[in-house]
Structure 1
């Protein structure tokens, strides 16, 4: 019991410091800050992580990793999700970014190729009362035409080139964030804005993502 109390106290202190760090990064949207406060990041982390809000990637099940806290919130901030937006996420992972997106938007459709990740994320999201989501055990490589049009799309993986197959699934003036580049090196993280029948590209930095994999995983 004492350990649980100490851990909860530590998490509250680390969250307070993290919120201050976000403001110093000019992430000041009150809705996003409220979402960060309302989603207990500890729930989405593996055991043994001392500071739940450190900006360090963490291993999760199925050999995958999850973004550090600051990297996660930066991605969500860059999407500029509004309450009316329908969001498509490729790569559910632990479900932490899914939770933040769901707190901000109208509905989130999230895909992952690992059944274990989808099932575990679903349990976590239900535990904190998030219901405006649909989780799918699929790779999501071609998006989700059945749920289109989407206002926002985020892909936690890299494409070799701009994924134009998503264009028709985006609404007018919609935004997509993904990485473009080789699978064995650094990639460019891009914010792609739909303008008519094309994308306008805006660089957001350099990342090292895994290439988006084909198909459902045979195990896990």
Structure 2
């Protein structure tokens, strides 16, 4: 039989909630390394706190940064309640810069206090694992003239709070089959002026699922 103090310790240990690993992103290319260059599948709950005093640079290469939520939660937030964390996709000789695609049927995503600028890339460059778009079995297809900054597909729970998207290419957000989504003060400003490209603003698609979503009264589209 276990000693009483050890038994109580084990009860306390197993009762502890799973706390997301916190990463403080305080160098200009650190975010790109985490979301775009490292493993694209979450292996645990993760919370990214972005330094609001710097610009988080995303190098252009014309493709999406895909992140598989894989049953876990991901939080991307400014480290300040009073300032945005700026995420800037750097310009290049290509028309497209870069975008971010988050997917996973049992995952949870929170974005808070973020400002995206100069982002957006071709939707035909989405990872093959995102089969709900542009696959042979999907009814949703985009061409090489369609682009987006953020793509959300089949995420169980998503909250986007106090986020702005400016000077973007294509759609600001493409969201497909989000069963529970809350957008609280989302501001989408003007898109980049280009000679070609199809789509602007927000695109929400639902099919084969019962969808529940809420949009806060403060959400703005200009």
TM-score, L = length of structure 1: 0.27
Say which structure is richer in strand: 2
TM-score, L = length of structure 2: 0.27
Larger Rg: 2
